[in-house]
Structure 1
Amino acid sequence: MEEAENIVAQTAERIFADLADAQTVNRDTKGGWKAPLWRALSEAGLPLSWVAEEHGGSGATLTEGFGVLSAAGRFALPVPLAETMLAGWLLSQARLASPQGEMTVAPAGPKDRITLNADGTLSGRARGIPFGREAKHIAVFAQDGKGKPSIALVAAGYCRIESSLNLGGDSSDTVTFDRVAPIAINPAPDGFDLTSLLLMGAVVRSLQIAGSLETMLEISVRYSNERVAFEKKISKFQAVQHNLAKLAGESAAALAAATSAADTFASGTASQDARFLEAASAKIRCSEAAEKAAAIAHQVHGAIGFTIEHILHRYTLRALAWRDDFGSESYWAVELGKRVAANGADELWPLVASR
């Protein structure tokens, strides 16, 4: 099984390296690289990794898909691969088939609600939808007037989309559903709610952030061994060494938190409290690491790291932008505190010690 998981991740890495190298993407301001990349990803079955074969996907395991997302984070890909994978996973929860092409999910935050009307249409507004205007379809979590949840597939063209950009320069749009008729809709499975979607999204973003931090560390170490100041490499200066050590620590902490959460979700046997603890903790820790790591990486690079021609910003800005998707670190910190308080003091240590 482990060998198969490695093969899936290695396939993704080869595609990314061949068609989405950071220097190539940075120089191609018109985005000509996107179509060949998406075609290669689709031919490999990666966008619908978490969709069963009978529903149009490749039937990969959660662990295999998480490996793809970690690789995507290391390349800081500005394409809706993670969003399409997450949308396929959401549709699969309600046994809905997934279409080909780019998808995204709504809502992507805890404050927005999509309502299922009595006539079967959807109404509501969802903000901060990643790649909303680039998606052909949207997987929607909705609730009726009594709070009963459903999952729907909607054609993006039937929604009103207000374009906006996140910190990384990628689409983060407002999508309005004005009595939109879904292509397909089914009740959500028992126990599945908006928090279930947000937790999975938090794990996805945590893996991407951790991946981007790995690359930040790699290019910062490489640059410090190339840049010469006062007749010696800057990697020889104690202050730079100290900063690189802190960057390595933040990267390791983020990777540990993200992979622990991914392993918990992939196991399929963890309790709801354990899944909540792992996902919330991962999003909090990875988001904190993104802020610290980005500052250190830019400090090591100096002025050149702030230029649009340098690739560093591709990783730092996206890592910072991903903090806000599917609940910010402050949101999850509050929710985690509420969950721990509700369970009582006697339950905290057994839960933490079991992870």
Structure 2
Amino acid sequence: MRELFESTIERLLADLVTPELIRHCEAGHWPADLWAALESSGFAVAAAPEHLGGAGASWEDLYGVVKAAGRHNLPLPLPETMFANWLLGQCGIEARNEPLGISMRSTLSLNHAAKGAFFDAPWVAPAEILVTGTLCDVPWGRDVEHVVALVPGKRTTLILLSRRDAEVSTKQNTAGEPRDDLSFKNTTPIAIADVPADWPDDVIWWGGAMLRTAQMAGALETTLDLSTRYATERVQFGKPISAFQAIQHQLAQMAQHTGSALVSAEAAFAESGSQLATWQIAAAKVCGAEAAGAVAAMAHAVHGAIGFTHEHALQLGTRRLWAWRSEFGNQGHWTQRLGRAVAQGGSASLWPAVTSGRLAALSST
């Protein structure tokens, strides 16, 4: 299934996602035709169980799809929609083949006696259950149909909210991608359910970090390809600049960082199932964030001033690398989280954690 997904998404994005379209979207345009093509492909619901309207695909199957979204600078919330539908499916709620949102930070609360109650099954929320608060930095929040969020309590509750019930404050990240705040006041959820008991309270934070690792890996591939091609074609002093040792050294370093990010991101997806692989996700986010900074800097050094121009494709990817490395936790956040978990487990737990890929303390730090 993975090979089929990768070949399909690659053909689709290669044909439809152009630098001109990306620039148009950064100016505030929603590419309806492109989303319609993605919707028809079924990728938006692929991570949901088959009996709930999805394809039952694993995260290992979908790694190539998320990576392709990063490689082509996809100006749509496809990765977030896939993850939102996975969350819904894991809680027994039917998938939605439409743009969905997730939030990087939330202040939501339930103002009903049912707050923290245990629900035996997902259900349409009655009118007396109301939600108040703000979902911050929702990717394409102004354009999504619904947003999936978590509300803490005695047991964490998943809710599905309509974007039309929210007051939207529009914002953008460094790459010009919408990162909007959605504020709700006494809003009735569309659906509500208790999350699985073994999920971390911040599972959306973990899932968002996992998505960004694959997107950064894809963008790093493109950045390396552009730099290698430019160095081969650009002639200085009678020979391609790729013949100069300083440029060769930079390209080699870029390849090393890109390879590290690719392997670590793929491991995070391959090890994630009904529970997300926290150790692998944290490590991959550290590797990806470090690579993003180093590779983007060296790519612009190789290209010189031309790489910063609006007309050149390089800055479309590097601006996303700079943005994505900080979303759902920057390098410092994940480095500290890994360090605290290792320290909490004690020195005797470090090597077993490395060999098994599991560190019990990590998801609770």
* Pairing 1:115–2:148 present: no
Q: Does 1:206 align with 2:213?
A: yes
Cα shift at 1:331:
1.6
Please give the alpha-carbon distance, in whole angstroms, between the structure 2 residues aligned to 1:236 and 1:350.
45
* Cα distance in structure 2, aligned partners of 1:225 and 1:337: 41
1:321 pairs with 305, 320, 323, which one?
Answer: 323
Taking structure 1 as reference, are residues 32 and 277 closer, same or farther at Cα in structure 2, changes over 3 Å only?
Answer: closer
Contact 1:22 1:75 in 2 (8 A): no
Write the letter of the residue equivalent to 1:250.
H
**CA-CA distance at 1:32 after TM superposition:** 7.1
SS of residue paired to 1:173: strand
The share of aligned pairs that are identical, in percent, is: 37
Return the alpha-carbon distance in structure 2 between the equivalents of residues 6 and 47 of structure 1: 17
Could you give the per-residue CA deviations for residues 73-120 of structure 1, whole angstroms, max 9, x where no partner exists?
Answer: 1112111101111111111121111323211113x14xx332122142
Moved over 6 A (4+): 27-33
The alpha carbon displacement at 1:33 in A equals 8.3
Change over 3 Å in CA distance of 1:30–1:170 after alignment to 2: closer
Q: In the alignment, is residue 15 of structure 1 matched against residue 12 of structure 2? A: yes
Question: Structure 1 32/132 Cα, relative in aligned 2: closer, same or farther at 3 Å?
Answer: closer
How do residues 1-355 of structure 1 correspond to structure 2 at under 5 angstroms?
4-22=1-19, 25-26=22-23, 34-106=31-103, 108-109=104-105, 112-118=106-112, 119-144=128-153, 147-266=154-273, 275-355=277-357
Query: Counterparts of 1:22 and 1:215 in 2: how far apart (Å)?
Result: 13
**TM superposition shift of 1:53:** 2.9
* Distance (Å, rounded) in 1 between the aligned partners of 2:208 and 2:24: 30
Q: Distance in 2 between matches of 1:18 and 1:54?
A: 32
Gaps of 5+ in 1: none
Question: Residue type matched to 1:353 in 2?
Answer: T
Task: Go from structure 1 to structure 2 and tell me whether the alpha carbon gap of 1:324 and 1:179 turns closer, same or farther (over 3 Å shift).
Answer: farther
Q: For 1:229 and 1:238, locate their aligned partners in 2 and report how far apart those are by CA, in whole Å.
A: 13
Instruction: Find the residue that maps to 1:151 and give its secondary structure.
Output: strand
Letter aligned with residue 8 of structure 1? F
Cα distance change, pair 140–24 in 1 and its aligned pair in 2 (3 A):
closer
Matched-pair contact (CA < 8 Å) for 2:26–2:177: no
Inter-partner Cα distance in structure 2 for 1:248 and 1:186: 44
Task: Tell me which moved more, 163-172 or 327-336.
Answer: 327-336
CA distance in 2, matches of 1:65, 1:226: 35
- In structure 2, how many angstroms separate the alpha carbons of the residues matched to 1:221 and 1:33? 32
Q: What SS does structure 1 have at the residue aligned with 2:102?
A: strand
What TM-score, normalized to structure 2?
A: 0.88
Q: Deviation at 1:29?
A: 7.1
**Aligned residues: CA RMSD:** 1.9
For the Cα contact (< 8 Å) 2:60–2:271, is it kept in 1?
Answer: no
**Contact map agreement 1:94 1:189 (CA 8 A) in 2:** yes
SS across alignment from 2:272: helix
How many residues were matched structurally? Answer: 342
Displacement of 1:193 in angstroms is 3.2
The one-character-per-residue Cα deviations of 1:188-240 (angstroms, maximum 9, x if unpaired) are 11122333222222111101101100110001100111111222211111111
Q: 2:17, 2:204 → 1: CA distance?
A: 29
Please tell me the residue identity of whatever aligns with 1:22: P
1:31: Cα distance to partner?
7.3
Letter of the 1:191 counterpart? D
CA distance in 1, matches of 2:340, 2:26: 45
Give the whole-Å Cα distance in 2 for the aligned partners of 1:192 and 1:114. Answer: 19
C-alpha separation in 1, matches of 2:255 and 2:179: 30
Amino acid at match of 1:41: L
The alpha-carbon deviation at position 61 of structure 1 amounts to 2.3
Local SS of the residue matching 1:133: coil
Greater Cα offset, 89-98 or 27-36: 27-36
Distance across 2 between alignment mates of 1:297 and 1:341: 36
Partner Cα distance (2:325, 2:193) in 1: 31
3-state secondary structure, aligned to 2:186? strand
User: Offset of 1:351 from its aligned partner?
Assistant: 0.7
The normalised TM-score by structure 1 is: 0.91
The answer on whether the counterparts of 1:26 and 1:311 sit within 8 Å (CA) in structure 2 is: no
CA distance in 2, matches of 1:333, 1:28: 33
Alignment partners' CA distance in 1, 2:183 and 2:30: 30
Q: 1:243/1:51 Cα in 2 relative to 1: closer, same or farther (>3 Å)?
A: same
Offset of residue 352 of structure 1: 0.8
Deviates more, 1:214-223 or 1:186-195: 186-195
